[in-house]
Amino acid sequence: MIRGNLERMKQPVEECLTWDIGDLSRAGVFRAPFGTACSCVWKDTTEREILTVNFSLGGSPVASYLQVNYRQGNLESSSLVSCTIDLTLEACHFGGAKHVFKCPGEGGGVPCGQRIMKLYLVHGRWLCRTCGNLTYLTRQKHDSRVDALARSPVDLLATLRSPDPRKQLLAVRAFAFSQRRVLKPREKHAVEG
């Protein structure tokens, strides 16, 4: 239960701006000459600009990095943030290599350096999920009591028969969850067959 409460205190990744290295690759950033000025723009649902990040690829093909500049804060009191995000090459499963970010965060004074595909803007810094103390929204909404009841038909039946309406509702959710789990493979085979 303590773990569940800690998960609720974490900020969901869905609330953060995400920088995906796959988007940079598809845009041709890694095919451009080193030092080429590039930018990424994030917009809200009304197409209003939220953030513009200017960056350039530096280093060498073996040890490359992004030199990053962006303004943080509102227009009146924004400050320029400059940082370097190291990149590394990671072997692909069927040959070749792809670029990945090395997290620039620090935990306990030690650089993180985790190889990741996405960075999240947390308190003005680009970080991995671990350094940013982030979680997924679905993980916050997950109820482990439903899993426990779905695994135990005896407990499920006892909870359904409980005089407490909250326990009965929990049991109904567990029953619906287990029913979806059982029916899902049947639907899949019906589509394929």
pLDDT score for 141: 65
Nearest to 98 by CA among 85, 115, 114, 119: 115
pLDDT score for 113: 87
The pLDDT averaged over each successive group of 10 residues in the chain (193 residues) is: 53 88 92 92 87 92 90 72 92 90 84 92 90 78 78 87 88 82 52 39
Predicted TM-score of the model (pTM): 0.67
Q: Which residue has the tokens 């590394």?
A: 88
Helices (H), 98-164: 137-141, 144-151, 153-160
134, 18 Cβ separation under 8 angstroms: no
Alpha carbons 175 and 146: distance in angstroms, whole number: 8
> What letter would DSSP give residue 15?
G
Alpha carbons 86 and 59: distance in angstroms, whole number: 9
16, 134 Cβ separation under 8 angstroms: yes
Helices (H) and strands (E) in the chain, counts: 6, 13
pLDDT score for 75: 58
pLDDT score for 7: 47
Q: Which residue has the tokens 């979806």?
A: 180
114, 92 Cβ separation under 8 angstroms: no
